[in-house]
Structure 1
């Protein structure tokens, strides 16, 4: 009887499902298919995204009349009414129109909940996947630099770029991956961003203090890298294959992305591999020990329901990264290599590197290995009346090994394991009186441990960070107001850390109690709690739908990082001995921003000016003795000690994009970025004058122009043909921290780039289609040294027979990229 009842229920269920209808069709824009547009049934919680050909399909819709909302970034939303009938598919095609501006684009970074760009007074720039793909780069930060004025990077070769925003960098820039803060020993110059460049679908950049919602380490701003989740038809496997080749360093990159969607579930997976030999320029030739080999895996699963959504993701990053030391033969200027240990190594009499070693893909024995693992979940729960609870929880582990022992290459000089737990809970309250309010708490728990190493630049430490905030925004007529306050508490501690000499190897080693007889107490025990208030208040005045005036004032907070307070030893990969200061206080900034935005018929104009006063600013300075000679603690390595003083940074960014409506296929984008950093240490300036007047590592004036052509229509099998010509001009950097030769004058330079892209149109809609990109960077093979290039200072001689010292940036590079969508 029970079996008959079950069969009856199944038959009835199948019959009911069979009676449901289907809505399908195609979404286009300018007579071209629009991929990844969203089609949602209002009030029903059902929806779909268009595939790469613009087609969509929504199944199992009960019969009735519905409003269908069609949206896509950069286009005006369309709402249509359709009637669904049982057992009869309804076909409805929609053509979207482009938005008059990007002001209505929604962002999720630096705010309490998803917010339109136009209503946010804080400067935010968005870079989409299309723009990222069109710039063929060695890493994701380089793509952001090309697209966002005011963003630059400290580099150590082509695969390591640490972002700077308006002259502030290191852990003052908070890097997020899908909203989870990235933690990977980011205090070091040569510690790059441990993220797969091919897996990013969108980047949101906040310029200015974002401590209000993220706490410490967001003093300069935030870069949120949002992973790309391919979308397509229900029940069908979709994906892409990316192949990338660079002529300068022979970089070969391959990435495979897969996605699958069924009902309310989405799944995405990506695997990437990159390898490169040494890069080259016309001054240095092939630069020894700048190759790398990198592997990435990532996966995401997400479910969207009427109650909200839940997402879980995981990533794996594994990079073997060579780091040069710049040693050369004094006459020929050919690179040399270390074959003896530091005690008997003569830097100026090393053997020369052979040609076969310079262009080999094999990783040299002296290198770094960086592994980063992450698993996280983000969730949103609707609680009625427009309110919701958002949560995120993540665990990540960063393992860094730096191999610097040529006689025992398997012995790591630095070997540290950093474990981090991220947490975030925020409640979006129901709107009251037109005011949207969010309250939340977030932070991290962190532990760092040294393993079987021989060098110990930082102690083993524990860190717990927690902060609570309240954020509110309101729109009234033409004015949008937002702001809030936050309190942070960070506790950091470590126990006595002893080091000694291993009698068998002669290398350093960590000693543990009670076996500390004859050992050195390298890091005495330390315990401290850092506290700080931060907040912001800003408004946007909507002069018209296309003209906006923005103003914001913010107080930022940053606790000193581990190297600034605790370092006392050699970082082998940086070739620097760092010395910290336990007495440092937190940094506090007070920044004012004013911006004017005009999205007109034939041009866009964005003008932003800022002024930032920082108390207790922390910076590196080279250590010298009483005679002005560099202090050498470890031969062949520089010694830097952290300093603290007041500072001021001020500057502006101007963007002028011309896009005449009578020539829609042509555009000319122009930008100017300028920042000056002034050291306010009056005692130091009185003693040393202009040598100590400016802050170190401030980017020079940067002017960028790009002529872009996007040809409409189809030409045989070719479509979406685009080309661009770019010019980058960097001025002389005369304003630098010259005390003790910490920094030197940097000559200005001009770079010219060009790119071409097109799509091969498939014969059938069900076939895969191909995108091709060719790009030339530094087309005239200009020899230059960027002032933020660490390799500029890798020099062991006071003079050079060819008049050039240090290592130069990459020369001409031609890149080829193919993307196969299926």
Structure 2
């Protein structure tokens, strides 16, 4: 951490004095001034709002080309690239009304354009929308994006699934750096709390050109909350109550921004008991608690900006073994996990007139411990049991791994040549995995990545063409280790492997008419085998099987074609997204006829595979009923191996219909809403040899809330009721499905957020 702080101030020392400013007036098409329009310049972390006369101003803006965005609810978002070459720049903006969602800048794509301008279709969900859904975890919240699901273990552990691909095939980015936290395991969650997250972006398809290995299936990009507006401060307290798990989530945050310096901090604590199923039983030891702390500091002046952020997350997660003793206690039983995640990132921009250099540095430490159940003596009485519980808190973990990752990402934006934009970059990481417990899933290891890439974007008339190429190398080396546990000896042989890959992408977007836009993207991706697939040699208690790695595995490679069509008028929007994904050397685990340590042996093998499907839907906003919205989406994916077998863990087809109203009442209720949605999940009968079919089900959900202002006290509230009818169902991607354990029953979630 000291190195990062030194680097931050070393870079800051290169800045020199300048007094450029941008100011202007924002109006509607009738030239009426608009108050409280959000204006943001992402590269320099500066934001402000317009006053009652529609006026705004930024000081200390660097020379060169910068992008400034104007956002106001009920109006079309405007994004302008302006060339700053004089001390004072006047920019007046006129906003046009719209009845659909706000068009936002997409950060996860290379040229940071508005979604309407992007060649690649990227889904986005803001933090406020996630909280309205009443999701218990961030992973659960993002399943409301069409094409995104989760592999869940109870209510606490969820892994994102994008169009049928999950685990190491989906890359997670947070604070601008890649998240590395032993994500190969099925019982590992995201390790990120939704507090302090401003929005989620999802790239559905190969993104290896931008992100390297592990982005073969897509990218989940988590944007941290923004700093306060310039020369402003914000403090807030939010509280959520979860009826099903008797859970609470408390978050306190504060932000202070001056002209050049900005600071924020947020602390969050969540605590949940076992979740309840519709039979009124609770699933034993699905309880969990979480502590999360986020902070950040930013500096911007002249031709340099820098942002330093830190996130600490401690999660204690119960590992259920079924429905047993009923309790509403939040004290964890064994077995359970204790996981610490430290994420430190430095995000920097250097402006050189018409060009720009972005440098992102990251350090993550994932400390994962698993505590196992211990046998009790038959003559224990209740007092002795209590003493044992106190003693167990001090026992060492049976399994403990520390994963340390240093990552870097540098991108140079060349001067724009007419309508042509080009950027080139280098990315990489250095990673070490070290074991400390008596049990070992994967051996001590070192991983080194290095990649170089170039991508270009060309715009003409109403069309855009984007293309790129990349080369990557991954080096994996492991130590030879011999483990003797309960009389059994298992050897992890040393591995020294190198994996290379070229990836490319080509995308085209055009407006066929003013109302119809189409996008066609072809991209390749790759994924190097992970440590578990290469080197496992022992019982994996989370899956109750003996896993053997295969050191002869090669890269997974894929080619995907995406075609999307959008039709949008003032009151109606229709979209269709289709994809075909061909995977070479798909890695999967398969049983053998052997038994070791009392468990069946599984090993990793490869086979070509394919996935295809899409998402389809519409959004109706009938005139003159400005308060009414009807939305419908359908998503489907089919995954098959070349031998004819279906791929495992493919989500069932889902059809979701939502009836939503939006309203304002006087000055005391703003952005009020009500919603009712019906989610119909179809039966999943396209199953792998080692899966069972899953029945269809329908879930009814309700929601309402808004922003209140009463006697100068401002607060927002949200109420959601998920699974209103307490429907008995099992999701196909539930890891508790094999034990016949139902998913969560009715859950009433009440949320409050106060501006302090």
Would you call these one fold, judging by a TM-score over 0.5?
yes
Preserved CA contact (<8 Å) 1:457 1:577:
no
Residues 1:596 and 1:22: Cα distance change in structure 2 (over 3 Å) = closer
Preserved CA contact (<8 Å) 1:36 1:231:
no
Q: Confirm whether residue 651 of structure 1 aligns to residue 613 of structure 2.
A: yes
Residues 1:263 and 1:779: Cα distance change in structure 2 (over 3 Å) = same
Q: Confirm whether residue 561 of structure 1 aligns to residue 513 of structure 2.
A: no
Match of 1:773 among 718, 731, 737: 718
Aligned 1:277-676 pairs, distance under 5 A: 277-283=273-279, 285-326=281-322, 335-336=323-324, 353=325, 355=326, 358-385=327-354, 387-407=355-375, 409=392, 410-451=395-436, 453-501=437-485, 520=489, 522-621=491-590, 623-625=591-593, 632-635=595-598, 639-676=601-638
Preserved CA contact (<8 Å) 1:714 1:720:
no
**Alpha-carbon deviation of 1:660?**
1.7
Residue 142 of structure 1 aligns to a residue whose secondary structure is helix
Preserved CA contact (<8 Å) 1:417 1:448:
yes
Provide the rounded CA distance (Å) in 1 between the counterparts of 2:303 and 2:337. 46
Residue 139 of structure 2 aligns to a residue whose secondary structure is helix
**Alpha-carbon deviation of 1:474?**
0.2
Tell me which residue corresponds to 1:133. 131
Task: Encode CA deviations 1:569-606: one digit per residue, 9 max, x unaligned.
Answer: 23334444322211111011011111101221211111
Aligned 1:38-49 pairs, distance under 5 A: 38=39, 48-49=47-48
Provide the rounded CA distance (Å) in 2 between the counterparts of 1:247 and 1:594. 42
Task: Encode CA deviations 1:498-521: one digit per residue, 9 max, x unaligned.
Answer: 1124xxxxx58xxxxxxxxxx945
Preserved CA contact (<8 Å) 1:571 1:578:
yes
Preserved CA contact (<8 Å) 2:45 2:227:
no
Structure 1 spans left out of the alignment, 5+ residues = 1-19, 63-67, 80-91, 327-334, 337-352, 502-506, 509-518, 626-630, 686-692, 796-805
Structure 2 spans left out of the alignment, 5+ residues = 1-19, 62-66, 81-90, 376-390
Greater mean deviation of Cα atoms: 295-304 or 50-59: 50-59
Task: Encode CA deviations 1:116-143: one digit per residue, 9 max, x unaligned.
Answer: 3234332211112331232221111222
Residues 1:289 and 1:632: Cα distance change in structure 2 (over 3 Å) = farther
Preserved CA contact (<8 Å) 1:150 1:673:
yes
Residues 1:177 and 1:55: Cα distance change in structure 2 (over 3 Å) = farther
Aligned 1:189-338 pairs, distance under 5 A: 189-232=186-229, 234=231, 236-283=232-279, 285-326=281-322, 335-336=323-324
**Alpha-carbon deviation of 1:430?**
1.0
Greater mean deviation of Cα atoms: 69-78 or 724-733: 69-78
Residues 1:818 and 1:76: Cα distance change in structure 2 (over 3 Å) = same
Residue 458 of structure 1 aligns to a residue whose secondary structure is coil
Provide the rounded CA distance (Å) in 1 between the counterparts of 2:516 and 2:140. 31
Preserved CA contact (<8 Å) 2:99 2:621:
no
Residues 1:48 and 1:586: Cα distance change in structure 2 (over 3 Å) = closer
Tell me which residue corresponds to 2:381. none
**Alpha-carbon deviation of 1:52?**
12
Residues 1:104 and 1:770: Cα distance change in structure 2 (over 3 Å) = closer
Tell me which residue corresponds to 2:747. 813
Preserved CA contact (<8 Å) 1:229 1:259:
no
Aligned 1:153-192 pairs, distance under 5 A: 153-192=150-189
Preserved CA contact (<8 Å) 2:206 2:216:
yes
Provide the rounded CA distance (Å) in 2 between the counterparts of 1:47 and 1:38. 8
**Alpha-carbon deviation of 1:28?**
9.8
Provide the rounded CA distance (Å) in 1 between the counterparts of 2:235 and 2:50. 10
**Alpha-carbon deviation of 1:679?**
1.1
Aligned 1:6-17 pairs, distance under 5 A: none
Q: Which has the larger radius of gyration?
A: 1
Residue 143 of structure 1 aligns to a residue whose secondary structure is helix
Provide the rounded CA distance (Å) in 2 between the counterparts of 1:475 and 1:594. 19
Provide the rounded CA distance (Å) in 1 between the counterparts of 2:21 and 2:531. 60
Preserved CA contact (<8 Å) 1:601 1:660:
no
Residues 1:251 and 1:743: Cα distance change in structure 2 (over 3 Å) = same
TM-score of the two chains, using structure 1 as the length reference: 0.80
Task: Encode CA deviations 1:416-465: one digit per residue, 9 max, x unaligned.
Answer: 000001100111111225321111110211100000x1221111110001
Query: Aligned-pair RMSD on alpha carbons?
Result: 3.2
Residues 1:247 and 1:544: Cα distance change in structure 2 (over 3 Å) = same
Q: How many residues align?
A: 704
Preserved CA contact (<8 Å) 1:26 1:55:
yes
**Alpha-carbon deviation of 1:53?**
10
Provide the rounded CA distance (Å) in 2 between the counterparts of 1:617 and 1:61. 52
Preserved CA contact (<8 Å) 1:173 1:220:
yes
Residue 286 of structure 1 aligns to a residue whose secondary structure is coil
Residues 1:122 and 1:69: Cα distance change in structure 2 (over 3 Å) = closer
**Alpha-carbon deviation of 1:232?**
4.0
**Alpha-carbon deviation of 1:264?**
2.1
Preserved CA contact (<8 Å) 2:37 2:70:
no
Preserved CA contact (<8 Å) 1:103 1:116:
no
Tell me which residue corresponds to 2:141. 143
Tell me which residue corresponds to 1:792. 737
Preserved CA contact (<8 Å) 2:34 2:50:
no
Provide the rounded CA distance (Å) in 2 between the counterparts of 1:721 and 1:463. 50
Provide the rounded CA distance (Å) in 2 between the counterparts of 1:304 and 1:124. 29
Tell me which residue corresponds to 2:673. 722
Residues 1:782 and 1:61: Cα distance change in structure 2 (over 3 Å) = closer
Provide the rounded CA distance (Å) in 1 between the counterparts of 2:284 and 2:630. 39
Residue 285 of structure 1 aligns to a residue whose secondary structure is coil
Provide the rounded CA distance (Å) in 1 between the counterparts of 2:396 and 2:601. 24
Provide the rounded CA distance (Å) in 1 between the counterparts of 2:135 and 2:45. 38
TM-score of the two chains, using structure 2 as the length reference: 0.87
Preserved CA contact (<8 Å) 1:103 1:118:
no
Task: Encode CA deviations 1:640-661: one digit per residue, 9 max, x unaligned.
Answer: 3323100010001102111123
Residue 635 of structure 2 aligns to a residue whose secondary structure is strand
Residues 1:659 and 1:457: Cα distance change in structure 2 (over 3 Å) = same
Residues 1:713 and 1:70: Cα distance change in structure 2 (over 3 Å) = farther
